[in-house]
Structure 1
Amino acid sequence: MWRKVGTAVVRHRWWAAIGSTVVLLPLAAPVLGLRLGQPTNSSLASTGGTAADAIHRLETAGLSDGLTQPVEVLTTDPDAAAAAIRQVPGVAATIAPAQWAANGQRVVEAWPDVDSADPRGTGSTAAIRVAAEQTGAWVGGVPTQDADFIRAVYGNAWWVAAIIAAVTFALLGSRCGRWCCR
């Protein structure tokens, strides 16, 4: 049976390619809507339970959606870092308590005015990062870790998929004539 299928595919390559594309594209379509990173506040709230209760309390209190995922900044000059971050549009608040200090460095917390996991919040998080790094600070926290992870892991995924596809087609093209069409 597989010999007949292989022979038919080799004889009618273009129809086989078109047919497989018609089948595979709808199967791959959900990947286009895939959102990488942490769940948004709205998705956490939709699950119910204690996370949903906490999100609803934040909303009813009128607090920023960005409160759930602050950007953490480690700096030797907290005043300069906090001042630079406050100039960024979309920053709800910053704090730098003196108790958060060790070895001449302090932590500054910055909260965007929108949820950092939301696509609108990623721009605010990136701007906070740029402003803080311009003062010589190091930037961390869940939003920046997500951005770094996504860039590192998925930034070259298209190249990897293209290389795998090219190698697969090259191997199939060079071997198919020997295996299927004798």
Structure 2
Amino acid sequence: MTPLAREIQRTLLAALPDPEAAPRPELAAYARLLRDYPERGGKMLRGRLVVLTARAYGDDTAALGVAAALELFQNWVLIHDDIEDDSDERRGRPALHRLVPMPLALNAGDALHATMWRLLAEAGARRKVLLEFAELVETTASGQHLDLSWTLEDRFDLTPDDYLEMVRRKAAYYT
């Protein structure tokens, strides 16, 4: 992991509850669930691009918080996607819903989603950035809907253009 990726990860993890400070064992377990995917690492490519682009334009005051929020977006979407796709693994380990009951994994994803918005607010993200994040969530959800509905309907008549539309609304869009 690059030094910048580690800095983004530290910012992201600092926004999450500390299991050691939890007042009850159940809340310590909750804090560990929220930290599970973010602690697994990843390249933090999208977050690094945010910071590097902000630095190139000479104003990176909010960039680290926005980058951490974008990485939180990636993590909560992956938790939900793993549940929806019934995935077994994520980043070389069992998917979160394979480690704990699905409702707990889903709740962890929801909490990361809320923390994403808090990080953006704390970073002082401008209205335009907040609206871009809203569009990011909405567009990704529409791409995921295409993916899920085609899978649930056992669609095999899809064209390469259909597939490209779906991926353009998902990872390709938020990258």
Quick check: TM above 0.5?
no
Higher percent of residues as strand: 1
More helix by percentage: 2
Q: Larger Rg: 1 or 2? A: 1
TM-score by length of 1: 0.23
